[in-house]
Amino acid sequence: MAAERLMVSVSGVRGTIGETLTPQVAMEFGLAFAAMLGAGRKVAMGRDTRRSGEMIAAALSAGLLAGGVDVIDLGVVTTPGAALMTRRLACDGGVIVTASHNPPKYNGIKFLQPIGVGLTFDGAAELKRLWESRKFALMPTERVGRASRDDRTHDEHLAAVCEVCDVPAVAARRFKVVLDCINGAGCIVTPRLLECLGCEMILLNGEPTGEFAHTPEPIEENLTGLCRAVREHGADVGFAQDPDADRLVVVAEGGKFIGEEYTLALAAAFVLRHRKGKLATNLATSRMIDDVAAAAGAEVVRAPTGEANVVEAMLREGCFFAGEGNGGVIEPRVVPVRNSLVGMAYLLQYMAETGKPLGALAAEIPAYVMLKTKFPAPAGVAPRVAAETKKHFAARGGSRFDERDGLRVDLPAGWVSVRASNTEPIMRIMAEARDRAAAEALVAETRKLADAVIGKQ
C-alpha cells in the first residue's frame, strides 16, 4: 500500500516505526552517509522527543561509526539547533532524527550539509543511490569512528537568536505569551527565549516526552486549545511549534487563528523595516509575501518547494532573508534553516516597535484565501497528474505555468499547484485567490483532474 512505503527524498527519509523505518534501515542509511562523506569525517546528530527517536538515533549512529565517521551526539534538540551546531562544530555533515509534523507512528532522518541546511537534490540522489546499492564499507577496528557528546546546543541557539533581536525593546513591553510546544524538542529552549525577552509565559504541553497532546501538524483544527488559552488568559499572542520546532504558527490577541502563511509575511514586513534587498521563498507560499515586498521596494525570488531549494536560491541570488509559507522563517545570520525561535523574536519585536497588536499588523497585509488539501496517491502518478492539469488550463488560455516543482498554474484571479509530497505518500493541491469561493473552485477543478488520472491506474 502507498501508505506503507518508505519515503526517500530531498527532504530525507521518513517512514513508520516497526514497518518501513526499522533500526536496520537507519543503520544502513548511517553507513550510506558515511560512505558519501568518507571515513575520518565528523557528523553532528540530534533528535526530537519521539519515543522511537532514541532507537533510530542509536542505529543511525552505529552505521556512521561502522563507516568510519565520528558522531557528536547533541541529544534532544530542535532542528535549527542541530543545524547551528553542525556549522559551529565544523562538522562535515549533520543528521536530525525527526518526522517533523507527522503523527507519532512516523519518524525520519534528515541529512544536513556542513552549513546546516538539508542536502541538495544531487546530494540526496547520491545518498539514495549508495543506500540502494548496499555496497557499504565497514571499517576495521583502527578506523571505526568515535562517539562523543555535546550539550551546548540550546545555549548556543539561544545566544544566536538574541544577537539578531533587540532584547531590551521587547522586554520593556512585558508581553503575555501562550506557548504550545506540543511536548516536542522546542519545549527545552523556547521557554528560555521568552524569559530572556521579558515575556510573561503560559506554557502548554511543555514536557519533552514526545507524547503529543494533539495532532502535531500546526494547523487551525489542531490548535483549538491554544486559541482558547490566548483568549482566556488575555494574552498578546499565542505561538505553536511543530515537534522539531522549525515551524511557527501564530494566534493573535483574542484567540484568533491567523494562519501559518502569515508567519513569514509578518516576519518579512518586520525585517524590511530595517534592511532592504531580495527575499527568497518557495512556489507554494502565499502572494502576501509579494505584496509585502512590493510595498517596501523589495524583490521576491521563488524556488521549488523544499527548504534546501529555498536556501540554494537565497545564496545564489544574494537574498538577506527567506522562508516558506508553512510557518518557516529563515534568518541566515543565525542559521540558514527554518527557525521558530527567530520567528517569535521578530514578531514580538515588530509588535514592540510599532505598538500595534499582532491582529492589526496582520490586517495591514492584503488578504487572500489559501486552501491546502492532500490525498493518497500511488507512486509515480504525479507527473501524469501535472501533465493533465497543464493541458486543461492551457486550453483555457491566460495561464502561466511553472514546472520546477510539480505544476503551478498562475491565473489572473489566483493560482493553483499540484505536486507530490517529499515527506508523505500523498499529493497536495494548493490554491489561493482573493475569496474562498474562487479558491475552492480551483481546488475542486484540479482534484477532479487528479482523480481521473488516478482512476486509470
CATH homologous superfamily of 369-455? Alpha-D-phosphohexomutase, C-terminal domain (3.30.310.50)
Ranges of each domain in the chain: 2-155, 163-363, 369-455
Reported as a single tens digit per residue, the pLDDT across 336-386 is 999 999 999 999 999 999 999 999 999 999 999 999 899 988 888 999 999
Residue 245: predicted pLDDT: 97
Q: Is the pLDDT of residue 424 over 80?
A: no
Amino acid at 172: A
Written as nine digits, the cell of 120 is: 541538495
- Answer for the pair 48, 182: CB distance below 8 angstroms, yes or no: no
Do 2-155 and 369-455 share a fold?
Answer: no
The per-residue pLDDT of the chain, averaged, comes to 95
Reported as a single tens digit per residue, the pLDDT across 156-174 is 999 999 999 999 999 999 9
Q: For the residues 323-344, what does the mean pLDDT come to? A: 97
> Alpha carbon of 209 to those of 49, 181, 220: distances in Å?
6, 11, 23
Reported as a single tens digit per residue, the pLDDT across 18-50 is 999 999 999 999 999 999 999 999 999 999 999
Reported as a single tens digit per residue, the pLDDT across 218-236 is 889 999 999 999 999 999 9
Residue 3: predicted pLDDT: 45
Q: Is the pLDDT of residue 52 over 50?
A: yes
Whole-angstrom Cα distance, residue 1 to residue 16? Answer: 13
Written as nine digits, the cell of 156 is: 548556543
Q: Is the pLDDT of residue 441 over 70?
A: yes
- Answer for the pair 51, 210: CB distance below 8 angstroms, yes or no: yes
Residue 316: predicted pLDDT: 96
Active-site hit among 11, 52, 61, 100: 100
Chain position carrying cell 509588535: 351
CATH value of 2-155 in 3.40.120.10, 2.60.40.10, 3.40.50.720, 3.40.50.1220: 3.40.120.10
Would you tell me how many other CB atoms lie within 10 Å of the CB of residue 18?
A: 10
Q: Is the pLDDT of residue 392 over 50?
A: yes
Dihedral in degrees, nearest 10, Cα atoms 180, 186, 192, 197: -60
Q: Is the pLDDT of residue 1 over 60?
A: no
Task: Name the percent of the chain lying above pLDDT 70.
Answer: 98
CA 12 from centroid of its chain's CA atoms:
12
- Answer for the pair 308, 120: CB distance below 8 angstroms, yes or no: yes
Concerning whether 100 is annotated as a catalytic residue, the answer is: yes
3 state DSSP class of 12: strand
Reported as a single tens digit per residue, the pLDDT across 58-76 is 999 999 999 999 999 999 9
CATH assignment, 163-363 = 3.40.120.10
Residue 4: predicted pLDDT: 63
